[in-house]
């Protein structure tokens, strides 16, 4: 892949373009606006691996080949005062996810907490978008997703991939300071970071991949070649690998088992070659939790206490080689200061331009500004 310098585009232009792409794939206007907002959130917050870089490969491809139904509407199939199960009916995870968190928040306003799980969904972008929905309303939000039966990593000590990257996100509002936003895969890294190193021809740190004997692998190409195996958070058993493995399984239980979606550890994986079905990221499950802060303590008190805790962390003297102590969400908020612009990888911008042409969208409705590196 040629290297392109990064570019900056107007945030509103990017959202409008992405919405136009979804609409050209048959997604109705309001849903396509939601989908664009969720997808662009990732790029607006520096999670490039979960944003418009996936627009064509994941979303357009599935909308066009019928694996994702552009007209699907999420339906409530079970409900209590504080919980619900949504069936996304094979629609966009981006739309079902936003609707599910809204519903969790409505319930939290009534009962103090709301919990909504989703089945038959698809890739929902960045988990942090949904927790931010809750945070914007002064609530604590939690969001998780599994990858259906798509498998990325091995169970601890195992030799067959059985678990996805299974991310967990949590947001909590603060007062004067940027909110706490944790958005993490339960693997050591997301696979996008391995592929980025591969593109740049760089070695990866020890701890990301191991070979069949459990030895560290630093060549990122080993991942796609199947000789380097992505570790769960914590790595080996003696450095806490059972914890990352356990968190990944917890995500499959909350998102998959509870909702009726697929999960990573599927018996089909152990059938002889040829009798396995495709390990598809279909029938993905999500889990959303919204906690109404006011049910626990006054909102202002919560925010003051958050500020005190977060400011203490920011004030912590750094130890070498670090130069600054931050908390999850802080750097993203700093990077968002010019809220009108979004930085994109140059290659991703070129992909969007060629996608626009192929979809017959007259032109890429964005002016770009080349970023000096």
Interacting positions 105-124 with its own copies (CB under 8 A): 110-113, 115, 117
Q: Note whether 247 binds its own copies by CB under 8 A.
A: yes
Among 1, 30, 159, 372, binds its own copies (CB under 8 A): 159
Strands 284-291 and 113-121: antiparallel
- For residue 243, state whether it binds its own copies (rule: CB under 8 A): yes
Q: Is 103 in the site for its own copies (CB under 8 A)?
A: no
Site residues (CB under 8 A) for its own copies, limited to 194-223: 205-208, 212-214
Task: Give min distance, CB of 63 to its own copies, in A.
Answer: 29
Q: Is 74 in the site for its own copies (CB under 8 A)?
A: no
154 makes contact with its own copies (CB under 8 A): yes
Distance in Å, CB of 45 to its own copies, minimum: 15
Nearest to 282 by CA among 266, 268, 263, 267: 263
Residue 30 as a binder of its own copies (CB under 8 A): the answer is no
Q: Does 321 bind its own copies (CB under 8 A)?
A: yes
Among 75, 322, 334, 371, binds its own copies (CB under 8 A): 322
Residues 6 or more apart whose Cβ sits within 8 Å of residue 277? 268
CB atoms within 10 A of CB 188: 22
For residue 86, the SS3 value is strand
Stretch that binds its own copies, among 5-13, 62-70, 305-313, 344-352 (CB under 8 A): 305-313
**Cβ burial 32-60 (10 Å sphere, 16+ → b, else e):** bbbbbbbbbbbbbbebbbbbbbbbbebbb
CA 112 from chain center: how many Å? 26
Q: Angle CA(119)–CA(14)–CA(5) in degrees, nearest 5?
A: 110
Longest dimension (CA), the chain: 59
* Residue 168 neighbours by CB under 8 Å, 6+ apart: 127, 142, 143, 144, 182, 184, 186, 247, 251
Question: Whole-number minimum distance, CB 209 to its own copies, in Å?
Answer: 11
Q: Does 158 bind its own copies (CB under 8 A)?
A: yes
Range in contact with its own copies (rule: CB under 8 A) among 9-17, 59-67, 311-319, 333-341:
311-319
Contact predicate 22/32, CB 8 Å: yes
- The structure tokens listed for 210 are 């191991």
Among 83, 126, 150, 191, binds its own copies (CB under 8 A): 83
User: Minimal distance in Å, beta carbon 290 to its own copies?
Assistant: 11
Q: Does 285 bind its own copies (CB under 8 A)?
A: no
Does residue 188 bind its own copies (CB under 8 A)?
Answer: yes
């Amino acid at each position: 892949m040629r290297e392109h310098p990064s570019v900056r585009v107007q945030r509103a232009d990017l959202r409008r373009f992405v919405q136009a792409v979804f609409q050209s794939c048959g997604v109705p206007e309001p849903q396509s606006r939601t989908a664009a907002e969720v997808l662009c959130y990732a790029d607006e917050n520096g999670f490039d691996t979960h944003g418009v870089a996936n627009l064509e490969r994941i979303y357009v491809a599935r909308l066009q080949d019928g694996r994702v139904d552009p007209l699907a509407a999420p339906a409530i199939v079970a409900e209590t005062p504080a919980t619900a199960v949504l069936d996304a009916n094979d629609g966009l995870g981006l739309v079902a996810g936003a609707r599910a968190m809204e519903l969790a928040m409505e319930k939290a306003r009534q009962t103090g907490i709301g919990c909504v799980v989703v089945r038959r969904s698809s890739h929902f972008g960045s988990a942090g978008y949904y927790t931010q929905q809750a945070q914007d309303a002064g609530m604590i939000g939690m969001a998780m997703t599994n990858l259906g039966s798509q498998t990325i990593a091995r169970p601890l000590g195992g030799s067959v991939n059985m678990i996805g990257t299974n991310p967990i996100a949590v947001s909590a509002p603060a007062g004067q300071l940027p909110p706490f936003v944790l958005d993490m895969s339960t693997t050591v890294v997301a696979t996008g970071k391995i592929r980025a190193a591969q593109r740049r021809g760089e070695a990866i740190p020890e701890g990301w991949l191991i070979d069949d004997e459990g030895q560290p692998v630093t060549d990122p190409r080993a991942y796609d070649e199947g000789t380097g195996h992505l570790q769960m958070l914590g790595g080996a058993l003696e450095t806490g690998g059972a914890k990352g493995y356990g968190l990944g399984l917890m995500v499959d239980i909350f998102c998959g088992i509870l909702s009726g979606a697929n999960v990573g550890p599927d018996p089909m994986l152990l059938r002889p070659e040829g009798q396995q079905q495709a390990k598809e990221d279909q029938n993905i499950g999500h889990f959303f939790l919204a906690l109404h802060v006011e049910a626990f303590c006054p909102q202002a008190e919560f925010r003051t206490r958050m500020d005190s805790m977060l400011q203490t962390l920011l004030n912590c003297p750094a130890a070498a080689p670090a130069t600054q102590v931050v908390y999850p969400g802080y750097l993203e908020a700093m990077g968002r200061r010019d809220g009108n612009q979004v930085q994109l990888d140059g290659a991703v911008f070129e992909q969007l331009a060629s996608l626009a042409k192929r979809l017959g969208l007259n032109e890429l409705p964005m002016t770009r500004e080349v970023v000096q590196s």
